[in-house]
A and B are shown apart, each in its own frame.
Chain A
Amino acid sequence: MARKKHVVYKYLRTTKRFPSIWCPGCGVGIFVGALLRAIDKSNYTKDQIVLVSGIGCAGRITTYVDFNTLHTTHGRALTFATGIKLAKPELKVIVIMGDGDAVAIGGNHFIHAARRNIEITSIVINNGIYGMTGGQLSPTTPLDMETISSPYGNLEPPFDICRLAEAAGSSFVARSTVYHVGHMERLIGKALQKRGFTMVEIISQCPVHYGRRAGLNSAVEMMEWQRDNTVTDEKAKGLSEEELQGKIRIGVLVDREAPTYQERLESLKEKTGAV
């Protein structure tokens, strides 16, 4: 029986040598599969899509996929994406960042892109650590966690990326994990269809630099942690307050209608009489 060719092959570059740079057990590959399947189900063509990334493990995704791809500087992916979207609004601009990328060095750009409600689909792959540089604490590393740059425990409480995006003005905010692979794909699909600035946080695992230090000995254990410590809206309904304690909510957290930057630009054009 002929094996059905997986849909992701349609979107992987044939000119780029594989394997990828990601470590065994990394969650990024699972995310890439979900992203490509979500894109395949959307109406966007490969030529229409611009995939922009920052620096870090997640930043390398753009190398392997067959779109207009831009691998930018650390934390600044959203600034480049803003220029692309404003100069050529017909393009579908998707930005992929890591947690350090998006909310440490890029925190300022992150909140202002959300505030402008510019038409960009942004995705933050949150593994709670700086993986590529060897396991330093990030703004989403849990309090007291020992990392290579917090050998006596992390002194800083973590950011909730979704609440940050919501407060800053994002039209759509959602969270999933790489364990919930179908759920993740559906949320990315929803974000791709939504007007305005959208932000999807994907909780992922870094077994090499996070799991090892957190006492989670494999990628499987880390994904089981994702399964056991998250809760969807539907599941939450059947649980008591006590059972919900400490659980991370996944699903669509914000979905609101607000004028986008592009819509305001259109009315500006009318005002100035520009063609």
Chain B
Amino acid sequence: MKPELLQGNEACVKGALAAGCRFFAAYPITPSLEIAHGMAYELPRRGGIFIQTEDEIASLGAVIGASLAGAKSMTATSGPGFSLMQEHISFASIAEVPCVIVNIMRGGPSTGVPTHPSQGDVMQARWGAHGDHPIIVLAPSSVAECFSLTVEAFNLSEKYRTPVIVLTDEFLAHLREKVFLPSSDEIELVERPKPAEPPEVFVPYRDPGTGIPPMPSFGDGYRYHVTGLCHDERGYPTTRADEVEPFIRRLFHKISSDFDKLQWGETYYTEDSTLNIIAFGSVARAGLRAVKRARAKGMKVGLLKLLILFPFMRRKVTQLMENSTTILVPEMNMGQISREVKRVNQGRCRVETLNKVAHEPIAPQEILDKIEEIYG
């Protein structure tokens, strides 16, 4: 393996290509643009498709269409564009169409501070789309993870037939780091399940037991119906309570039944720590530095870095809480993932927050100051 100097957005491009992405549609928006630029250059050379659409609604619409035709597909955007995509995230969720959406968080609300980092879209990623729906949200915190989690985003979306969101921020998007990327034979790829039975007896949305029905592509000879309406096993619209209820529950269950496999977090110095930091994205980097400095001063501090934000890794977080007196959640927002931490805490320990909305990175010293304040 030879080292490469890459920025986060470039690593996303390389991750998508390594995952087999053949279709990319996007609308220009800072600070996600290097992803579109990379795809515009790379995809046509590889027989893939790049299209710059008239808006972000069209981007995700085209991505879903391409995925239904059998192509692994992705889009990339930032806050305001991500808001426009919510309508189609909801559609991809109910119609069970695999797709990957990269959202580079920038300072908001609205146009905000377009060229500075933020973590203000955590809850938008979880709940932004209308209707009760499951979602998977991944959060890299290094350039190498921008690569690996983009690959995993494709794998999870194919496996569960669901939209997957990769949430990074402007800081990470433009950060350049030395990385060693794996070769293609070292990367495990997942493809969507295909029907084993012939078209005549195929029932497109019948639960095979896993909650994930096999998915033929348009043109494969399985002429089935795809709709954003609640549908029965055959794909036809239904309003019957005895069909709608199990259908929506299956959408959730297909992901939640694998909950144990989705506890993607990394712990640092947590063997004997009583004050633990829970952080994600670029803030987790500052968190680790702060932990190391605190350790040098003799404080028993640890870190849990979240790589998956949703479904929220309740198990790993509560394990950490069992041995903690205090949890500190630093975030570049007014407190979004800390709400999840507080939700699962149920009185186990104190939960402190450190929030910054100046739309600039949280420095290790700021976290260290907070640690020292808590230590008293």
Using a CB–CB cutoff of 8 Å, the interface residues on chain A facing chain B are 13, 15-17, 46-48, 50, 52, 62-63, 66-73, 76, 79-88, 90-91, 108-109, 112, 265, 268-269, 271-275
Contact = CB atoms under 8 A, between A and B. Distances in A.
Contacts, number: 142
Interface stretch (B39-47, B176-184, B334-342): B39-47
Q: Which 6 A-B pairs have the closest CB atoms?
A: A83-B65, A79-B61, A83-B62, A87-B66, A80-B65, A83-B66
Contacts of A269: 44, 47
Interface in B45-71: 45-47, 49, 51, 53-55, 57-71
**Chain B interface helix/strand/loop/mixed:** mixed
Interface stretch (B219-227, B289-297, B352-360): B219-227
Interface in B187-233: 217-221, 223-229
B53 to A, nearest CB: 7
A146 B49 CA distance: 47
Contacts of A48: 219
B236 interface: yes
B69 A88 contact: yes
Nearest to B64: A80
Contacts of A83: 23, 25, 61-69, 73
A66 B234 CA distance: 13
Contact of B236 (A16, A73, A81, A275): A16
Contacts of B225: 13, 62-63, 69-71
A274 B221 CA distance: 28
Contacts of B226: 69-71
Interface size classification for chain B: 35 or more
Contacts of A87: 22-23, 49, 65-67, 69-71, 73
20 contacts: A69-B223, A69-B224, A69-B225, A69-B226, A70-B227, A73-B91, A76-B58, A80-B62, A80-B64, A83-B64, A87-B23, A87-B67, A87-B69, A91-B69, A108-B54, A109-B54, A112-B53, A265-B49, A271-B44, A272-B45
Interface in B229-260: 229, 234, 236-237
Contacts of B68: 70, 80, 83-84
Nearest to B222: A68
Nearest to B220: A47
B88 to A, nearest CB: 7
A79 B223 contact: no
B61 A91 contact: no
A62 B228 CA distance: 12
